[in-house]
Structure formats: structure tokens, C-alpha cells
Amino acid sequence: MKIGVVSDSHKNLVYLRKAIELIIEKGAEYIIHLGDDYQDAEILSEYPIKGLRVPGVFCPEYLDKSVKNRVIEEISAVKILITHTIFSHKNDQKEDLVPEDVIKNKEVDLVLFGHTHLYEIKKEEGVLCFNPGHLQEIMTKGRSATFGIVTIKNKEITCEVFDLSDNKLL
């Protein structure tokens, strides 16, 4: 099972479309958009792939109680926290999952997060955490636009980061 992961598109639909096309070429069955901007993920419906999304902490949807800011999804027997931030935020709603608690209590196997615009793969409290970077046109913090691919095989999780020229960076 392959999952495409994007974050922080910030209305750059050209780069988001390019990332989606590369993700589909890689055989992903899902694309998860981690926010900023929530509305950008509407274009996922134009593609033959399952899409999931959460809003960024500064999106108007983040304050809308009918929209879940953080969700736990089980895909291929792997529990995944899907969130814009890996930490609590001042804009959180009282009913939001608390990422620090979810990680500390090992309620998930994988955390997908964005917000920092910096791609990374790390372990927190023994939980794998993955940030695919950003999809802005300008370099952010010295990094160009990137997306991620998560591969799950027999509960083993592999995370990779690619740029929009399809070069593997991590």
C-alpha cells in the first residue's frame, strides 16, 4: 500500500497538481493533504484516488467544529494520526486530539504532519513521525517544494521525500 502525502500547498494548485500526478504515477492508493490550505485539497476529487485532508491551524475550517482538525485512520493495519501540527496549538478546539498524548500513549504507529515546511522523518516516543515538506513556489527555509510517499508492507512503514522533478531527497 502506498500513500501520497502533501502539506502546505498555500493555494499553489500548479505544484499540488504536479505532486498528485507524480504520486499517482508511483501507484499510491491514497493522498493525504495535511493542511494549509484546506480548500486546496478539493482538487483531489478530480483524480482517481482516495483523498483525506485536515485543515491547517490558520485555515478558517480549523475553527469550524464540523471539521475534524486531527484524525486517526487505520490503513493496511497501521494506525495513522493525520494532523497539521505535531504539537498542540493555540487554535485547537477542546475536542481535538492532543498529538503529544497520542504519541506518548503510543495510540498510533505513524504521525503525518506538516506546518514547519521542513521535510523530516523522526521517531518520537517510539512512534514514526513524517513531514513531507511544502508545496510553495518559493524556497522555504532553504528547501524547495516536496511531497512524500509512505509505503506500508506487512505493517512495515517506509517514508520517502521527493521533489517535483521526482528526485528522492530522503
Q: How many domains does the chain have?
A: 1
Q: Is residue 124 a part of any domain in this protein?
A: yes
Q: What CATH number should be reported for the domain holding residue 66?
A: 3.60.21.10
User: Could you give the C-alpha distances from 89 to 62, 69, 99, 108, in angstroms and in order?
Assistant: 11, 11, 10, 20
Phi, psi of 116 (to 5 degrees): -80, -15
Is residue 62 a contact partner of residue 69, using CB atoms and an 8 Å limit? Answer: yes
DSSP line for 41-93? GGGGGGSSSEEEE---TTSGGGG-TTS-SSEEEEETTEEEEE-S-SS--TT--
How do residues 16-50 score in pLDDT, each as one tens digit?
999 999 999 999 999 999 999 999 999 999 999 99
By DSSP bridging, strand 78-82 and strand 127-131 are unpaired
- Which domain covers residue 22, as residue numbers? 2-163
Q: Is residue 12 a part of any domain in this protein?
A: yes
Q: Is residue 169 a part of any domain in this protein?
A: no
Q: Is residue 149 a part of any domain in this protein?
A: yes
Residue positions counted in the chain: 170
Q: Is residue 97 a part of any domain in this protein?
A: yes
Q: Is residue 72 a part of any domain in this protein?
A: yes
How do residues 42-81 score in pLDDT, each as one tens digit?
999 999 999 999 999 999 999 999 999 999 999 999 999 9
Q: Is residue 151 a part of any domain in this protein?
A: yes
Give the residue carrying C-alpha cell 502533501: 6
By DSSP bridging, strand 146-153 and strand 110-112 are unpaired
Q: Does this model's pTM top 0.85? A: yes
Q: Is residue 87 a part of any domain in this protein?
A: yes
**Residue 138: pLDDT band with limits 50, 70, 90:** confident
